[in-house]
Amino acid sequence: MIEVKKLVKRFGLKTILRGLDFSVQPGEFVALLGPNGAGKTTFLRILATLSRPSLGQVQVAGYNIPNQAAEVRAKLGVVSHLPLLYPDLTAEENIRFYGRMYGIADMETRVTEVLQMVGLDNRRKDLVRTFSRGMQQRLAIGRAVVHDPEVMLFDEPYTGLDQDASEMLDDVLRSVAAKGRTVVMTSHDLARAEDLATRFDILSRGVIATSAKHEDLKNTNLLAFYKKSLEA
């Protein structure tokens, strides 16, 4: 579903990604972890077709980046810590707007499905600027799944959320993953990553330093695995 080989990303004289290899199978939920400045957001921006690789091969849902970026975007849903919503539109108007961009056929049925999935159907007529940070983030996930993408990218989706909002977002993310989608999520919240993901990849010094499946951590925990990976 995602295949990355020898990916290099440079900004001027600075090299951020240094020959990174990365492979994700359909239905996997990968938590991409690493310290600040490791290149996590840069990597997700490349997968999202928002930044071009300097060198290497990148393939998402069977299409190559950057040459088939439009085809990739049709298969992709992206959520960052910025909701990217229109504050002076209602919840349903936001979902409908993005649905039109993707040519959704039965629009009103899909709008209702999405708003119910993210727990906002009872606020569908309310302007987004009246929403809390957590509600906006849930609606942003609705925006990202309206076209039923095969691959979901989440870049620090819990940033700025309180405990209650984070727990509601947990449920939405589980719902997204339960559909069999391929998910890649960056997060500094190791406890949430451990609870949600099926695999953990540690990005350090521009490459994937180590990777482990959830079942491989039976005799340890994610924090210990993370610290050990960065010390290697």
Q: Which pLDDT does position 218 carry in this prediction?
A: 81
pLDDT in tens, 97-116: 999 999 999 999 999 999 99
Verify that 15 and 113 share a domain, yes or no. no
The structure tokens 């909002």 sit at 165
Verify that 95 and 142 share a domain, yes or no. yes
Model-wide pTM > 0.85: yes
Range of the domain at 128: 90-148
Task: CATH number of the domain at 45, please.
Answer: 3.40.50.300
Alpha helices (runs of H) in the chain, residue ranges in sequence order: 40-47, 69-74, 91-101, 107-117, 133-145, 163-178, 190-196, 222-231
Domain assignment present for 199:
yes
CA–CA–CA angle 76, 79, 85 (5° rounding) = 110
Count of domains for the chain: 2
Cα separation, 65 vs 51, whole angstroms: 9
The mean pLDDT of 134-143, rounded to a whole number, is: 94
pLDDT in tens, 154-209: 999 998 888 888 888 899 889 888 889 999 999 999 999 999 999 999 999 999 99
pLDDT in tens, 14-71: 999 999 999 999 999 999 999 998 999 999 999 999 999 999 999 999 999 999 999 9
Region of 205 on the Ramachandran plot (φ > 0 left; ψ -120 to 50 alpha; else beta) = left
pLDDT above 80 (res 232): no
Give exposure, 217-231, as e/b (b: 16+ Cβ within 10 Å). Answer: eeeeebeebbeebbe
pLDDT above 90 (res 81): no
Q: Which pLDDT does position 162 carry in this prediction?
A: 85
The mean pLDDT of 88-98, rounded to a whole number, is: 97
Q: Which pLDDT does position 206 carry in this prediction?
A: 95
Q: Which pLDDT does position 204 carry in this prediction?
A: 94
Verify that 136 and 158 share a domain, yes or no. no
